Amino acid sequence: MRLALSVIVFIIVIATIAITVIALKSLMGVTPMIYVDKLRGLLINGSFTAVYNESSTGFSSENGSSHGFVCSETYWYSVGFVNGTRAIITMNNGSCVPTYMTPPSQEMIRWVNGTSFCFAIHVMLNKRSAKTAECLPPGTGKLINLAVPFSELLGNVTINLTAEDYSINYSMITHIHYVNTTKWRGQTTYCFQVTSELNSNTFYGMEPNAALRRVIDEYNVTEFLCLLPNGLPAIIIFNETITTKIPLAHITSHTSEHGVQELVSYELNYFNVTAFNEAVS
């Protein structure tokens, strides 16, 4: 009887250990990806408004000349729906050293009109402003997903799109690995290592200058990115290299930048319709 009881206890202990190991593996290997899925849901179907502060250093070069820079910027994102269509607003302003590298304050709005991808840009520099708006040909609407912030978290993407006076061959390959947890303002965040490689070859037939119609972009991004349980990124430590080629104009530019972006404030289920209407009117 004692032997039988001992065997039963042994089996129970082994089973308990096995269940614990399985649970831990599930927690470490599956559960954290839920927060990536929540972010994807926000980017594709949800709505939010969020403000981020960014500090970065880097260098850029073009056709042999190069210079370094240090920048401090603020980014404001609003993602959601207006009048039944997907829309994204991005605003940024900041300053850099040397001062001639300081980017202009910029507001960019992207939305879908029917099946067309549309964008409006409002730029302010030295108290002067310029505004433009344009829609790409019908059939380009799915490009809206490439315009959302943190689009690299959407996963692998391939787009081969040809429309009147416009074409794009676009590919993005992303690898995401869970690392650990940390705190942001007392809240637990789930941190991931993200590497992303993006290539695009774009033809703008509507560009008046024929030499500028073909643009080739190559991006390589490595991020340590920490997500809140609602999916929003709270901390992003990034290294990014960008190469842009305009073959017919014999222009090649390189930018390498690393820095930190941190969430300042956010509001879920909110899209700034007023800002959208003012920008596209």
Cα distances (angstroms) measured from residue 230 to each of 69, 77, 190, 226: 34, 16, 11, 11
Q: What is the pLDDT of residue 15?
A: 42
Q: What is the pLDDT of residue 11?
A: 40
**Of 16-30, 53-67, 134-148, 261-275, which gets the smallest average pLDDT?**
16-30
Nearest to 147 by CA among 52, 224, 78, 243: 78
Given strand 157-163, what is the order of strands in its sheet? Answer: 128-135, 116-125, 105-113, 85-97, 65-82, 48-62, 251-268, 233-246, 214-227, 187-204, 166-184, 157-163
51/8 Cα distance (integer angstroms): 58
Mean pLDDT of the chain: 86
Q: What is the pLDDT of residue 9?
A: 41
Query: pLDDT by residue (tens digit) across 109-164?
Result: 999 999 999 999 988 877 788 888 889 888 889 899 889 999 999 888 898 988 87
Nearest to 94 by CA among 68, 70, 111, 116: 70
Q: What is the pLDDT of residue 18?
A: 42
User: How sure is the predictor about 5, in pLDDT bands with cuts at 50, 70 and 90?
Assistant: very low
User: How sure is the predictor about 7, in pLDDT bands with cuts at 50, 70 and 90?
Assistant: very low
211 in Cβ contact with 246 (< 8 Å): yes
Count CA within 13 A, CB hemisphere, residue 181.
13
Burial group, residue 275, by CB count within 10 angstroms (0-12, 13-18, 19+): middle
3-state helix, strand, coil in the chain (%, to 5): 25, 60, 20
How far is residue 36 CA from its own chain's centroid? 13
Query: pLDDT by residue (tens digit) across 58-94?
Result: 999 988 788 899 999 999 999 999 988 999 999 999 9
6 in Cβ contact with 12 (< 8 Å): no
User: How sure is the predictor about 1, in pLDDT bands with cuts at 50, 70 and 90?
Assistant: very low
Q: Is 23 left (phi over 0), alpha (psi -120 to 50) or beta?
A: alpha
Provide the residue count of the chain. 281
DSSP-based three-state secondary structure for 236: strand
Query: pLDDT by residue (tens digit) across 158-202?
Result: 989 888 788 999 999 999 999 999 999 999 999 999 999 999 999
266/146 Cα distance (integer angstroms): 22
Q: pTM here?
A: 0.82
Nearest to 134 by CA among 161, 113, 148: 113
Query: pLDDT by residue (tens digit) across 101-118?
Result: 777 789 999 999 999 999
